[in-house]
Amino acid sequence: MGRWIAIGTASGWDDVTRFGAELRETSQWRPDAQTSITTVFALGDGRLVAECHANTQDDFKAWLDRKRWKVESITPIRHLAKTGNIWKVA
């Protein structure tokens, strides 16, 4: 399974209430059995960063489209370090 990072914007997501409404329920970040949006950051400059685990990049793109993101980039993740653990992803 692959991992990707997307950078973009989505209208209204700078408001924490809207941000929570878009992501709180499991169905909002787990659109199907093979796709999980694992992390979303709302940055201080108004952009959003999201990480996804999925079979294909198109699965992630479909979620971004449903959420009406204006996507700047979607990039595969090669390596990952998280609190001292390191994984080779691709």
Domains detected in the chain: 2-80 (3.30.70.3100)
Label residue 46 by pLDDT band (50, 70, 90).
Answer: very high
Query: What pLDDT is recorded for position 37?
Result: 96
Is-contact 1 34, C-beta < 8 A?
yes
Label residue 81 by pLDDT band (50, 70, 90).
Answer: confident
Query: What pLDDT is recorded for position 48?
Result: 97
For CA atoms 50, 56, 57, 62, give the dihedral sign.
negative
3-32 per-position pLDDT tens digit? 999 999 999 998 889 999 999 999 999 999
The pTM assigned to this predicted structure is 0.88
User: How far is the first Cα of the chain from the last one, in angstroms, to the nearest whole number?
Assistant: 9
Label residue 87 by pLDDT band (50, 70, 90).
Answer: low
Query: What pLDDT is recorded for position 86?
Result: 64
